[in-house]
Amino acid sequence: MDVVTQADLEREPADRSHDPLAAALGNASLIGVGYLMLGRIRLAVAATLVSAVLVGSLVWGARSVWAEVVVLLWWVALVVHAWILAGGRRQGGVQRDQRLVALAVAVPVLLAVGFLRFDAVRIERTVTEARQSGDCARALTALDRVAFGHRVADAPLTVRGERSVEACQRLRTAEEQLGTGLTGDTDGLKTGFDGLGSVLADLPGHEKMVDAALDGFLGRLPTKDPCQTVAVTDWLRQRQPTNNTLDRSAEVVARTAPTALVGCADGLMAGKNWEAARTRYQQLLDQYPGQEFSARAVEGVKQAGLAIELANVRSLLEGPTTTRPEYCTKPAPYSAATAYTKGRTNRALFYGDDEYTKRLPAAWRASDVTAAVLVVCVGQKEYGTTVRTCPYENKLSRLFPTYVAFRKIAIPVQAYELRTGKLVVNGKLQITGASCPRVLTYTRYSGLVDIGPPSQVYVTASAANVRAAFQSLITRG
């Protein structure tokens, strides 16, 4: 009786055997449920903590295939260990209630992981297709579906997804900078291209997305403002090749720049920005010789040059015509003016003392620079050659008359050919006129004794006399 009792007591643990399958299924949940079924509370807590650390490391740390393998091996170890602790095939019994509990815990976990893993594969397929088609918007929309569960079920997916998110964010920033660059902001162009280049260098696999961003930028050329387009094409032309897809930007330069240059130059001409217009026309001829716009550019260079000359001459001639302008000391050419020709009426612009020039025929005077052949700078009159000397009554003594010399009117003139800016006449024109009138009128200053007429006076010149003096200047006779 005692022996039997003792034997019964020793066999009791075997009679209270656990279901190995239930224990294994319980541990398949990764939270040590199988150990709880076996009464191993410490093991259950330890297993749960280790599982939490591994899953946490998988989600926030080493999100790689190796990390997944470690978690998988840990999962297999928990399942196998629980199976062994429960006695395995030899000693384990069947406990339906334990199996039901284990299934209730493990199956949802396994199904959730399986579904999330499957869904992660679908997301990654969509993202891959988006990368291959260069569609950042589609990739980001797909990646917005990635939740915490996907990170647990397929951690490497999140790494690849985050790389795509980073690539798209960089590309979006680069596109914004390139959009700014389209206004002619070269700093924006540099920043934008640097952004595209960084995606190619740092995030391989996103080349098509870079292509799409670059195509979007190039497709916006030319812009509505040809001068802004020129600023962009100039920068692209000077950009150093990087031996990647970004070098395709050079193709748009040859296609876009000539039209933009001539359009920009035309606009600058219309805005009277002659220097800049001539520079753009000349740039077209230098960089793209033989283009369909070459003849137009040649004419543009000519017209801009003439406009620059005209503006310069106008500036030098500023001021009233009764004074000598800066042009008289700094003459400049206006190539569109008519050449100074012998035998024809060479119309002139007269500046300086106009006592006599205002008496010249209107047909000899030019109303504007564009109608002039000469610029004539006139000085103060001087005494010229003596025409005749006549005696006049001396106020002090009638016995001794005063002899008065009647002298021509000498007009100092410098005449410049407007077409070349060259000095063509530099001397004095002498105007003759009537002399020795019966009564000589002269001026004496108030308070002084009238001692008689001065010793020399100017002849009295008529309009015909003035005209005759200037005739040779105007007709180059």
Residues 352-364: what's their mean pLDDT? 95
Neighbours of 379 (CB within 10 A): 15
Query: Could you give the CA distance from residue 412 to residue 427 in angstroms, rounded to a whole number?
Result: 6
Query: Which DSSP letter does residue 335 get?
Result: T
- Separation CA 411–CA 376 (nearest Å): 11
Q: Which residues make Cβ contacts (< 8 Å) with residue 243, sequence separation at least 6? A: none
CA angle, residues 26, 29, 33, in degrees to nearest 5: 40
Q: Please give the backbone phi and psi of residue 423, each rounded to the nearest 5 degrees, phi first.
A: -75, 120
* Token pair listed for 320: 């009233």
Rounded distance between C-alpha atoms, residue 473 and residue 188, angstroms: 61
Flag the least confident range among 10-24, 329-343, 434-448.
10-24
Question: In the predicted model, is pLDDT for residue 470 greater than 90?
Answer: yes
Q: What is the mean pLDDT of residues 363-372?
A: 95
C-alpha 199: how far from chain center: 23
The set of residues, in sequence order, having a beta carbon less than 8 Å from that of 470 and lying 6+ positions away, is 357, 360, 364, 429
Cβ-contact 83, 24 below 8 angstroms: yes
Tell me the pLDDT tens digit for each residue of 181-226: 999 999 999 999 999 999 899 888 878 888 889 999 999 999 999 9
Average pLDDT over residues 29-57: 71
Higher-pLDDT residue of 80 and 312 is 312
Q: Which amino acid is at 32?
A: G
Beta strands 348-352 and 374-378: pairing type?
parallel
Each residue's pLDDT tens digit, 146-171: 555 555 556 566 666 677 777 888 88
- Angle, nearest 10°, between helix axes 155-181 and 41-60? 20
CA dihedral of residues 223, 229, 235, 238 (deg, nearest 10): 120
Tell me which residue has tokens 């918007």.
Answer: 137
DSSP state of 375: E
Tell me the per-residue pLDDT of 232-288, one tens digit each, with 9 for 90 and over.
999 999 999 999 999 999 999 989 999 999 999 999 999 999 999 999 999 999 999
Average pLDDT over residues 432-452: 80
pLDDT computed for residue 291 by the predictor: 80
Per-residue pLDDT band at 85 (split at 50, 70, 90): confident
What pTM did the predictor assign?
A: 0.68
User: Which amino acid is it at 372?
Assistant: A
- The DSSP bridge partners found for residue 122 are none
pLDDT, tens only, 266-277:
999 999 999 999
